[in-house]
């Protein structure tokens, strides 16, 4: 398994690996997988150096709902300056907070619609939590570029041919690298139409509670 | 002594007790050791569990504390702000809340962000520490910070993603170890070998204190030698790879040693007590068992002495012993009964119940001590043998009983006693009849006895002979009296008297005969010249030669007195000595004939034998053997047998004579003419020679009648084929007459009297000279 170790190291250094597959006349398809070859949903691909055509005021208010003690969606991609509303669809209260540099805030115990949507002025990653429900984790990716894509269930992201050549950044909530870091990649005009990208991830440890611990001890 | 039953029982009992004790001691030793071993092991296991529980509880407390800390929103907020002072104060605050001794906050890369004691400087490599602790997530580990041992736990601070790690720990001090010791009763030592940190419950420590070597090597001097004080168990604690921490549990064994020794001494004491009790009880048991045995032994000795009375013995005996004593009593009674039977049988005649001869002797001896006159009467049934032969022994026995009955009747009346002293002889003894005439009493008895008997429907008349002896006149001693009364009854029998009163001197005669028999016996066996043969020549009238002799035995006793041949031959016949005497005669004569023959004297010798001799089975064989030994022709020997003898034992006698004749021995019929030989019988006899009795010859020349008898007998003899010998020729006239009558041989004093060998030989020489 020595070779795998070497490859893994390499991937960790680069953040991703490219494999040329076949030439397509139209768009470039990125297929994002983890190190085990599993497609990665919710990978975020941001095209850098593009013109920002849309202004903040025009941006719609996004919804980060809370359903069944989960953030829905788990990952929300927002434009810099875009507002996000945090409605509570559960019949219990939540205390949504963020200690992330991009936007620290808290919405203290509330139910239903909060008074105001939260505006995310800075780009970056915002990790959302609920103070009274430790298991709730949500992410808001605040992109500086309007050309930001989120991989689908098959880990597929399409980039128009016309955008080439382009620099992209790659990010995934579970990436092994520090959360704020993004992997950068350049795609040339001559690039093959399909690229396979591997992002090394960590499986998130289950959020232990005291109960778990005691239960585990009692079982002994 | 060691062989006695008592000692054996004691030895057995004590041996059993000893064996039991030793075995139980050994098994006690083994099981106690095992028990102690198990107990110590169990104690250590318990201690281990307690220790684990304790640490787990601590760990749980730590975990709780750490979780409370890391889950605190304010704390999270403080961490998120990275405000070092705030964080430090928060950590301090929390450490106070849960009594944690150390609380650190590390960032994701393992850098120390803050601690509850802001001024403390840690020399540890937290990155390494964090990496290792994260591997055992949510489990406590033992680490050393600045020379102090801590149980710590590392937990992430999530907001909600992990933003930092919080390390919370309790210090493990000596007090913790002491607390654990109080819980478990064992010394607990925490050893961080690589950091040189030791926390132990042992208060008084040696210097330098190295728990591993101290607890393993400490010994105490006990009853059974140097024993280790501690039993140890070394357990590895969760710790850093390069900084291992162990805990050493040491069970103090002193207490169990003491308990074991106390138990051991108790058991030894009990064992001695048991042995003592065993000795005492087994002595008692042995005594109980052997006492009746020795009593029985003395009882048996008493039986042996003939005392069969049994004293009552103690009733406290066991059933078996009682049975044995009863058996002994019964045995004594049975033996007594049987002894009486046997002694009765030994003293009495089984048929008549009378005393037997030997008992009579005893009884008589006892009775004669009294100053009383007694009459002894011996009664012989005459001809009882004929009754036995003709009517059967049962009738004979019944006759004896009937006779005994009458004798008893008679003597009982007189207060006497009686015995059966032979097959057909009785003896009765009674006080002498003083008032009456004795001779009247005894004939009266004889009359009673001779009255007719009715035995098994037969009328039988019996005849009796009686001998009478008087005590004390005719004898003092019982055996003398009995012998004399028997002599008297013998005399009565032989003289066909009815009653013979013993005459003084008869006994001496009888004794003389006995002595003579003894001497004769001696003389035969010694052959010392007391007995010798004489030879009387017989003249052959035809040849005028002496060619025959008659051999005649003579006995001159050592004292020089002569015993007549009739007397001693009679004695020899009575005593059965005749067989040996005849053998001696034959041997001597045959030898002499052999000698003569060697000397050129051809002499036929005649030997006188009795019918008893001829009937004796060995006679013939002995004669043949003797003839052969001396190389003497059988024809040189003539056997002379009297007419009477030959007739009395006719059948057997003739058979024996014929077998003698068959080997060539001549047979002569002696004393012919005075007996009862009919002519008819004479012709049947296997004889060679007739010997005319001397009564016809002595006065032959004077008696015409004798001359007729002799002449006709000679003629008869010749005509029957016999040669004829005349004996008792004493005158020349007789000789001339016999010559004229053509007698074959003559013998008599006219020729010569019987002569000893040397004299005869001399005489023969002289006789032959003039011829």
Per-residue pLDDT averaged across B100-129, rounded?
81
Residues of B in contact with A210 (CB under 8 A): 63-64, 67
> In this complex, do B159 and A129 lie within 8 Å of one another by their Cβ atoms?
yes
Interface membership of B163 toward A (CB under 8 Å): yes
Q: Tokens standing for B125? A: 């490599």
Helix and strand counts by DSSP (H, E) for chain A: 2, 17
Q: What local confidence, expressed as pLDDT, does residue A205 receive? A: 55
pLDDT confidence bin for B725, thresholds 50/70/90 = very high
Is B89's pLDDT higher than 80? yes
Q: What local confidence, expressed as pLDDT, does residue A181 receive? A: 87
Per-residue pLDDT averaged across B94-113, rounded?
84
CB A189 within 8 A of CB A19: no
> In this complex, do A129 and B163 lie within 8 Å of one another by their Cβ atoms?
no
Q: What local confidence, expressed as pLDDT, does residue A76 receive? A: 92
Tell me which range, B316-325, B349-358, B743-752, is most confidently predicted by mean pLDDT: B743-752
The complex's ipTM? 0.72
Average pLDDT score over chain B: 85
Interface membership of B241 toward A (CB under 8 Å): no
Q: Please give the Cα distance from B687 to B683 (Å, whole number).
A: 9
pLDDT confidence bin for B500, thresholds 50/70/90 = confident
Per-residue pLDDT averaged across A67-92, rounded?
90
> In this complex, do B161 and A179 lie within 8 Å of one another by their Cβ atoms?
yes
Per-residue pLDDT averaged across A135-154, rounded?
89
Average pLDDT score over chain A: 77
Tell whether omega for the bond before B642 is within 30 degrees of 0, i.e. cis: no
Q: What local confidence, expressed as pLDDT, does residue B434 receive? A: 61
Residues of A in contact with B138 (CB under 8 A): 208, 213
Interface membership of A136 toward B (CB under 8 Å): yes
Q: What local confidence, expressed as pLDDT, does residue A18 receive? A: 46
> In this complex, do B64 and A99 lie within 8 Å of one another by their Cβ atoms?
no
Q: Please give the Cα distance from B585 to B566 (Å, whole number).
A: 15
Q: Please give the Cα distance from B760 to B770 (Å, whole number).
A: 17
Which residues 96-135 of B are in CB contact (within 8 Å) with A? 108
Q: Please give the Cα distance from B735 to B251 (Å, whole number).
A: 153
Is A21's pLDDT higher than 70? no
pLDDT digits (tens, 9 = 90+) for B352-410: 888 888 888 888 888 876 677 888 888 988 888 888 888 888 888 888 888 888 888 88
A206 secondary structure, DSSP code? P
Q: Please give the Cα distance from B480 to B487 (Å, whole number).
A: 10
pLDDT confidence bin for A217, thresholds 50/70/90 = very low
> In this complex, do A207 and B73 lie within 8 Å of one another by their Cβ atoms?
no
Taking CA–CA distances from A95, the nearest residue in chain B reads B73
Give the rounded percent of residues in chain B with a pLDDT score beyond 70: 97
Rg, Å, chain B Cα set: 69
Tell me which range, B23-32, B249-258, B482-491, B546-555, is most confidently predicted by mean pLDDT: B546-555
Region of poorest pLDDT, from A60-64, A216-220, B632-636 = A216-220
User: CA-based diameter of chain B, in Å?
Assistant: 207
> In this complex, do A127 and B159 lie within 8 Å of one another by their Cβ atoms?
yes
Number of other residues whose CB lies within 10 A of the CB of residue B491: 19
A5–chain B nearest CA distance, Å: 19
Residue B516 neighbours by CB under 8 Å, 6+ apart: B563, B567, B568, B571
Taking CA–CA distances from B139, the nearest residue in chain A reads A213
B220–chain A nearest CA distance, Å: 41
**Superfamily of the domain at A59-144:** Cupredoxins -  blue copper proteins (2.60.40.420)
* Virtual torsion, Cα A36, A39, A41, A43, nearest 10 deg: 70
Q: Tokens standing for B752? A: 């010569």
CB A62 within 8 A of CB A83: yes
Residues of B in contact with A102 (CB under 8 A): none
pLDDT digits (tens, 9 = 90+) for B29-54: 888 888 888 888 888 888 888 888 88
> In this complex, do B160 and A136 lie within 8 Å of one another by their Cβ atoms?
yes
Q: Please give the Cα distance from B615 to B576 (Å, whole number).
A: 13
Of B60, B71, B80, the CB nearest to A134: B71
CATH 3.20.20.450 domain range(s) in chain B: 513-768
Q: What local confidence, expressed as pLDDT, does residue A15 receive? A: 43
Q: What local confidence, expressed as pLDDT, does residue B436 receive? A: 56
> In this complex, do A136 and B73 lie within 8 Å of one another by their Cβ atoms?
no
Region of poorest pLDDT, from A206-215, B85-94, B272-281, B561-570 = A206-215
Q: Which fold has domain A14-50+147-205?
A: Immunoglobulin-like (2.60.40)
Is B637's pLDDT higher than 70? yes
| Backbone torsion region of residue B310, taken as left when φ is above 0, otherwise alpha when ψ lies between -120 and 50, otherwise beta | beta
Q: Tokens standing for B560? A: 């020089």
Q: Tokens standing for B538? A: 């017989």
Residues of B in contact with A97 (CB under 8 A): 73
CATH 2.60.40.420 domain range(s) in chain A: 59-144
| Closest to A121 (Cα-Cα) out of A90, A86, A78 | A78
User: What's the CATH number of domain B348-504, 3.30.360.10, 3.40.50.2300, 3.40.50.10260, 3.30.70.270?
Assistant: 3.30.70.270
Q: What local confidence, expressed as pLDDT, does residue B762 receive? A: 92
Interface membership of A96 toward B (CB under 8 Å): no
Is B22's pLDDT higher than 50? yes
Is B180's pLDDT higher than 60? yes
B108–chain A nearest CA distance, Å: 10
Q: What are phi and psi of B165, to 5 degrees?
A: -120, 140
Region of poorest pLDDT, from B442-451, B460-469, B522-531 = B442-451
Interface membership of A134 toward B (CB under 8 Å): yes
**Superfamily of the domain at B513-768:** EAL domain (3.20.20.450)
Interface membership of A104 toward B (CB under 8 Å): yes
CATH 2.60.40.10 domain range(s) in chain A: 14-50+147-205
């Amino acid at each position: 398994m020595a070779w795998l170790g070497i490859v893994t190291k390499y991937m960790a250094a680069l953040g991703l690996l490219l494999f040329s597959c076949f030439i397509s006349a139209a768009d470039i398809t990125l297929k994002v997988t983890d190190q085990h070859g599993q497609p990665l949903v919710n990978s975020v691909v941001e095209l850098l150096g593009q013109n920002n055509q849309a202004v903040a005021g025009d941006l719609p208010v996004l919804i980060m709902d809370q359903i069944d003690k989960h953030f829905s969606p788990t990952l929300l991609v927002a434009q810099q300056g875009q507002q996000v509303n945090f409605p509570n669809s559960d019949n219990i209260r939540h205390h949504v907070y963020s200690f992330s540099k991009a936007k620290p805030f808290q919405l203290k115990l509330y139910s239903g619609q909060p008074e105001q949507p939260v505006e995310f002025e800075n780009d970056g990653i915002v990790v959302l939590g609920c103070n009274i429900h430790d298991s709730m984790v949500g992410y808001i990716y605040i992109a500086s570029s309007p050309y930001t894509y989120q991989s689908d269930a098959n880990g597929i992201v399409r980039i128009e041919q016309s955008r080439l050549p382009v620099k992209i950044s790659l990010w995934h909530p579970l990436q092994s690298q520090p959360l704020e870091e993004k992997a950068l990649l350049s795609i040339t005009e001559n690039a093959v139409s399909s690229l396979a990208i591997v992002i090394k991830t960590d499986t998130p440890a289950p959020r232990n509670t005291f109960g778990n611990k005691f239960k585990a001890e009692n079982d002994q | 002594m060691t062989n006695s039953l008592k000692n054996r029982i004691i030895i057995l009992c004590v041996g059993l007790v000893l064996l039991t004790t030793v075995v139980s001691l050994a098994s006690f030793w083994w099981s106690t050791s095992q028990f102690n071993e198990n107990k110590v092991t169990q104690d250590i296991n318990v201690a281990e569990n307690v220790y684990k529980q304790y640490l787990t509880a601590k760990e749980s407390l730590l975990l709780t504390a750490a979780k409370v800390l890391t889950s605190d929103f304010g704390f999270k907020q403080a961490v998120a702000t990275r405000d070092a002072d705030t964080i430090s104060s928060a950590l301090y605050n929390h450490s106070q809340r849960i009594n944690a001794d150390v609380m650190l906050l590390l960032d994701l890369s393992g850098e120390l962000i803050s601690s509850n004691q802001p001024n403390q400087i840690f020399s540890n490599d937290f990155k390494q520490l964090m990496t290792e602790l994260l591997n055992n997530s949510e489990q406590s580990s033992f680490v050393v910070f600045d020379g102090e041992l801590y149980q710590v736990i590392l937990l992430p601070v999530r907001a909600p993603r992990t933003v930092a790690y919080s390390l919370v720990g309790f210090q493990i001090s000596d007090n913790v170890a002491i607390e654990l010791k109080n819980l478990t009763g064992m010394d607990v030592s925490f050893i961080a070998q690589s950091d040189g940190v030791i926390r132990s419950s042992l208060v008084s420590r040696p210097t330098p204190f190295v728990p591993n070597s101290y607890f393993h090597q400490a010994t105490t001097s006990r009853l059974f030698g140097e024993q280790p004080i501690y039993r140890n168990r070394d357990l590895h604690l969760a710790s850093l790879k390069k900084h291992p921490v162990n805990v050493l549990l040491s069970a103090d064994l002193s207490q169990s040693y003491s308990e074991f020794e106390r138990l051991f001494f108790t058991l030894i004491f009990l064992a001695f007590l048991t042995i003592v009790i065993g000795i005492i009880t087994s002595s008692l048991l042995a005594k109980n068992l052997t006492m009746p045995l020795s009593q029985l032994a003395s009882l048996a000795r008493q039986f042996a002495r003939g005392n069969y009375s049994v004293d009552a013995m103690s009733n406290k005996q066991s059933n078996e012993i009682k049975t044995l004593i009863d058996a002994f009593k019964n045995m004594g009674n049975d033996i007594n009964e049987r002894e009486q039977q046997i002694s009765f049988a030994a003293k009495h005649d089984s048929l008549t119940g009378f005393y037997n001869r030997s008992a009579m002797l005893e009884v008589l001896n006892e009775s004669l001590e009294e100053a009383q006159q007694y009459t002894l009467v011996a009664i012989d049934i005459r001809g009882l043998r004929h009754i036995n032969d003709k009517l059967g022994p049962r009738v004979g026995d019944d006759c004896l009983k009937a006779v005994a009955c009458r004798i008893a009747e008679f003597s009982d009346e007189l207060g006497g006693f009686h015995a059966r002293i032979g097959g057909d002889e009785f003896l009765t003894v009674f006080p002498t009849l003083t008032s009456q005439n004795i001779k009247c009493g005894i004939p009266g008895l004889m009359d009673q006895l001779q009255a007719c008997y009715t035995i098994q429907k037969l009328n039988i008349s019996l005849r009796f002979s009686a001998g009478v002896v008087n005590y004390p006149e005719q004898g003092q001693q019982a055996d003398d009296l009995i012998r004399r009364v028997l002599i008297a009854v013998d005399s009565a029998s032989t003289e066909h008297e009815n009653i013979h009163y013993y005459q003084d001197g008869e006994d001496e005669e009888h004794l003389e005969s006995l002595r003579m028999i003894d001497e004769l016996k001696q003389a035969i066996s010694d052959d010392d010249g007391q007995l010798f043969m004489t030879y009387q020549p017989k003249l052959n009238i035809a040849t005028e030669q002496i060619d025959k002799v008659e051999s005649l035995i003579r006995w001159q006793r050592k004292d020089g007195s002569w015993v007549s041949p009739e007397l001693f031959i009679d004695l020899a016949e009575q005593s059965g000595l005749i067989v040996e005497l005849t053998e001696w005669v034959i041997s001597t004569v045959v030898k002499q004939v052999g000698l003569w023959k060697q000397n050129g004297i051809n002499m036929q010798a005649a030997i006188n034998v009795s019918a008893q001799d001829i009937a004796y089975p060995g006679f013939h064989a002995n004669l043949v053997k003797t003839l052969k030994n001396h190389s003497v022709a059988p024809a040189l020997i003539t056997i002379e047998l009297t007419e009477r003898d030959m007739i009395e034992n006719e059948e057997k006698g003739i058979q024996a004579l014929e077998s003698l004749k068959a080997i060539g021995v001549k047979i002569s019929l002696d004393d012919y003419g005075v007996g009862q030989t009919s002519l008819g019988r004479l012709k049947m006899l296997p004889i060679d020679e007739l010997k005319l009795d001397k009564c016809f010859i002595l006065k032959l020349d004077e008696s015409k009648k004798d001359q007729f008898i002799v002449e006709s007998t000679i003629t008869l003899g010749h005509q029957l084929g016999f040669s004829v010998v005349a004996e008792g020729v004493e005158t020349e006239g007789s000789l001339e007459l016999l010559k004229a009558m053509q007698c074959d041989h003559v013998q008599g004093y006219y020729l010569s009297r019987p002569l000893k060998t040397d004299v005869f030989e001399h005489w023969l020489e002289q006789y032959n000279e003039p011829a």
